[in-house]
Amino acid sequence: MRGTLLLAGLAALFAVTVPGLLAAPASGVPAANDPGPAMPLAPDVAARYPSVACDPNGTTASDNTIASQLNGRLTGNMAGAMTAYRVSCARMVIKAVHDRDLASRAAVIAITTTIVESTIQNINVELDHDSLGLFQQRASWGTVAQRLNPIWATNAFLDKMIREYPNNSWMTAQIGRVCQDVQGSNFPDRYQPEAADAQRIVDALWPASVDPGSIGGPAVVRANGEYHLFGISPSGQLSQNTWRPGGWLGWESLGGTVAGTPAVTYHDGQYDVFARSPRGVVYQKTWNGTWSDWKSIGGIVEGGLGAVYANGEYHVFGISPSGQLSQNTWRPGGWLGWESLGGTVAGTLPSPTTTASMTCLPAARGVSFIRRPGTALGATGKASGVSSKEGSVPSTPTASTTSSVSVRAVS
């Protein structure tokens, strides 16, 4: 059957035209009853299916080097089968994920899918029904040109993944289960065994966007007798730890790929965290019973953020690439847009609720959180004891810093 499909595909190869292969991506919206690929091609790793380039500039010397390295590491169906072409295809999928400021786990999910569906080849002949491309998406997903555009196809895959797993639930769901729920394959058990190799591929290709200088300090807010501590893990994800009477609950990832020092506000039972992506776009994440998805509020800023909620308005402050203090204000109806406040500034921004890195504790308690250069987060003012909570969120990234976060509790 496979040989018959391949011959049929080869016969049709030169009849396929691919106009606008690398056109700007658009959201793919597959039909609700879109059938999944009937015959994933993963067992045929050695086969070279009719395909088109993934990167318009072709493969690179680095692609070839990475392929050789991966061939010594992969253990699943792709073991020994990576080529410069396949690396270039994986690179484009990972680029699409990274450009959306999603966590690298989304790339692992996408690469797992392409391993199973196409053995990471941009197949341009309908070997299985009307499926095409890296993800073997059916005709109901988009046009031929769209499905053969790795950026568009990846974004279409991610769009459906986010619809199927709202509130970043794909961050914790089993990878193979997520792949199956997006693809609707007749062979659901084929995905999970490839997840480990997909992780190795992503590890080799994920852009080094979070360098030590971009990992800022933590932000903290106290509300309803609890402390909520936010920071950026070494892998670039926003993480949170909560203290309640009895102790700390432990760090949990809130997803995203962020940089700099985040900012947090609290009002009327609602927490809002603001953080920038490695490219500088500012995002907001809200908790009001459950965490929302990240929402962009625009802008291009550097360093850390400051934020305050007052009189029914949010005010977020950041530093523009030219070094000017900038502000964005939310009022009922939406964000007003970033405006320059002038000046030439640098570093992490204080706000009415911050001291040094970030402080959100009421002054009446006689305590503030502060991080001095070369030290962990500590507290000033009257204190009735000191406790240290170890975690993976770094403090100021200098040679003399520590990964512990110290919190002074006040009676």
pLDDT at 215 (0 to 100): 54
pLDDT at 185 (0 to 100): 92
Q: Using alpha carbons, select from 292, 293, 287, 262 the residue that is nearest to residue 275.
A: 262
Which tokens is 74 given? 């992969």
Which tokens is 186 given? 């007749």
Domain boundary assignment for the chain: 2-205, 212-408
Percentage with pLDDT > 70 across the chain: 70
Q: Is the pLDDT of residue 47 over 70?
A: no
Which tokens is 115 given? 């391993």
Q: Is the pLDDT of residue 58 over 70?
A: yes
If you count them, how many residues does the chain have?
411
Per the model's pLDDT, the better-predicted residue between 391 and 247 turns out to be: 247
**pLDDT tens digit string along 134-167?**
999 999 999 999 999 999 999 999 999 999 999 8
Q: Is the pLDDT of residue 367 over 50?
A: no
Per the model's pLDDT, the better-predicted residue between 274 and 380 turns out to be: 274
Distances in Å between the Cα of 31 and the Cα atoms of 137, 153, 343, 346 are 12, 15, 52, 49
pLDDT at 14 (0 to 100): 36
Distance between CA atoms of residues 303 and 121, nearest Å: 39
* pLDDT band, very low/low/confident/very high, at 45 (cuts 50, 70, 90): low
Q: Is the pLDDT of residue 24 over 80?
A: no
- Give phi and psi for 405, each to the nearest 5: -115, 120
Distance between CA atoms of residues 35 and 15, nearest Å: 25
In three-state secondary structure terms, 378 is: strand
* 381, containing H or E segment: strand 378-381
Q: Is the pLDDT of residue 232 over 90?
A: no
Distance between CA atoms of residues 329 and 331, nearest Å: 7
Q: Please, are residues 300 and 319 in contact by the beta-carbon 8 Å criterion?
A: no
Q: What is the residue whose two structure tokens read 């959306």? A: 100
Percentage with pLDDT > 90 across the chain: 45
Looking at this protein, which amino acid is placed at residue 176? G
Q: What is the mean pLDDT of the chain?
A: 75
Q: Determine the average pLDDT of the residues in 357-372.
A: 34
Q: What is the DSSP string of 295-346?
A: EEEE---EEEEEEEEETTEEEEEEE-TTS-EEEEEEETTEE---EEEES---
Distance between CA atoms of residues 85 and 114, nearest Å: 14
Q: Determine the average pLDDT of the residues in 194-222.
A: 77
pLDDT at 128 (0 to 100): 77
